[in-house]
Amino acid sequence: MKSTSPLIAADNSSRIPTYTGKEIVDAIDRLYPRVRTPLAHSNVFQLLIATVLSAQCTDAQVNRVTPRLFSEFPDAVTMSKAKINRLEQLIKSTGFFHVKAKRIKDISSKLISDFDGKVPKTMEELLTLPGIGRKTANIVLSAGYGKVEGIAVDTHVFRVSRRLGLTAASTPEKIELDLMQITPERSLWPRLSMLLIFHGRRTCFARSPACERCALSEKCLYFSQVKTSKG
């Protein structure tokens, strides 16, 4: 995932992080709402399924889909028995609906067979569910169980972290480790992830980031490169 584009700075193993995680939180915390997750849910199972559906889809669209989905299939038992074509119909607007329908059905079946229908409470166990990686597991543990095991790295966290110069890594797993290292205050991890997500959605856009109104531009690696290139 290396890129020579200024949108994502090239890897540099000797790079010194521009900000600490606490500095990020202190700088932009007031700019974004204090929500644990924008995904609507009434229990941990619904949170897990909604998070799976949110891949390559907006939270707002997922929230439009899940009320009807969960009214028909409210738990792992009912969803594991659902017909794939019905699931596809219900979640089609979230994109990649063939893959997602199979995944949420397989996850539900796994929950029934291995966890008595309950969403597990450990990272190790969550990672045994079909298609579940650390990002989803971190969201479920934090927002569902109040457990902080790591930092959820989605596409926005990936992009913004590298632009700012917080990390030179090119995989979500390594970026997560780097963010954890620059944020020794474990209690800040969920908020840091959420803030970077909001910042990526509202300011640090994938194309044409709004650097002129960014509260982090002072020490941002990307912004310094853009200024230098413009002379």
105: amino acid identity, one letter: K
Of the residues 102, 135, 174, 227, only one is catalytic, namely 135
Q: Counting Cβ atoms within 10 Å, is residue 111 exposed (0-12), middle (13-18) or buried (19+)?
A: buried
154 classed as catalytic: yes
For the chain, the farthest-separated pair of C-alpha atoms sits apart, in whole angstroms, at 62
Q: What DSSP designation does 16 have?
A: P
Residue of 154, 152, 178 whose CA lies nearest to 165: 178
11 classed as catalytic: no
Of the residues 26, 29, 105, 154, only one is catalytic, namely 154
Helix extents (H) in 32-166: 44-53, 59-72, 76-80, 84-91, 97-115, 123-126, 134-139, 145, 155-164
The catalytic residues are: 135, 154
